Amino acid sequence: MSRLPDPTSILVTGGAGYIGSHAALRLLDSGCRVTIIDTLERGHIEAVEVLRGEGDVEFVQADCGDQAQVLELIDARSIDTIMHFAALCNVGESVEQPLRYYANNTGSSLHLLMAAATAGVPRFIFSSTCATYGEPGEEHLPITEDCPQAPINPYGHSKLLVEQALRAACTSARTAGRPFACAMLRYFNVAGSDATGRLGEDHDPETHLIPICLGAAAGRRDAVTIFGTDYPTPDGTCIRDYVHVDDLVEAHLAVMNALEDGDERVYNVGTGHGTSVREILDAVRRVTGVDVAGIDGQRREGDPPTLFNDPTRIRKDLGWTARIDSIDEIVETAWRWMQEHPEGWGS
């Protein structure tokens, strides 16, 4: 395989959102030129303003599925890498509004891919998800990249379809002799905030467990509902693999710098162990000193009981491992930002 030129100009889709903004910040810290495209439907212009103070950032409010706009940006900013984060990511919402998820997550991604192919962008790094594995069962835990993909909700399926399209794009590029490499990073549960306090997590509606629990600790809600207490797990609540957002972003930079022409890489990104909902609540109580109340509720449709990954492949290939492995430390970084921004980015 031939070595691709060193990446210098990165298009970050969804760069005003939680993970995308953290990725953009790390890219800027490493000296890259960053172009952000985001509709601001769920992203925050305030995060973009923080990024503008950190380096060479161009922001365009648009849909990454707008091929004409993307092609214009690729040309104007000499884009050599696309990091694709833009997506709707609420599992429950995807069950209620499946067509919206397919249109946004799959449809816009296909248009983005076509623009990348037209312009000859040589690297494409895709924000995928462990939800593509569905409900793997005990025989597949911890989850490796070779685990069968059988998503049980439209969110996971909408991401799996993009993975399949990316593989087809790689095959097409090889056949045409066009330089192209891609990586699909299947995230487990991303949590925490930028360790320096510059960025944080703010969703509307908020569906992520840790900020919900911290919101209760901050007095923004009376209690936290535990969706399902009768799962086949030690304490009856769902177990997930929580990876700090800074560690996740480091995985993106590691794979970006390692890609060679023709590569088609797939990596799970997580810590390799799980934490239950009740254990998250306990961590929030320890970190904040607030006795957050938990209320037992019914299961949500589409929630598998246990998901945690085997990080062997990414460790062997890229030397990546999660540096923040303590759930208390992850919670502490999120709590620090929330205390500084009690109303989120609108503070």
How far, in Å, CA of 32 to CA of 36, rounded? 13
Distance CA 16, CA 21 (A): 5
Which among 127, 105, 132, 118 is positioned nearest to 172, based on CA atoms? Answer: 118
CA distance 4 to 155: 32
> What is the token pair recorded at 331?
């919670």
Buried b (16+ CB within 10 A) or exposed e, 159-182: bbbbbebbeebbeebeeeeebbbb
Catalytic residue among 18, 101, 133, 155: 155
Beta bridge partners of 260: 3
Within 10 A of 192 (CB to CB), how many other CB atoms are there?
A: 28
| Strand 239-240, strand 275-276: pairing | antiparallel
155 labelled catalytic? yes
Catalytic residue list: 155
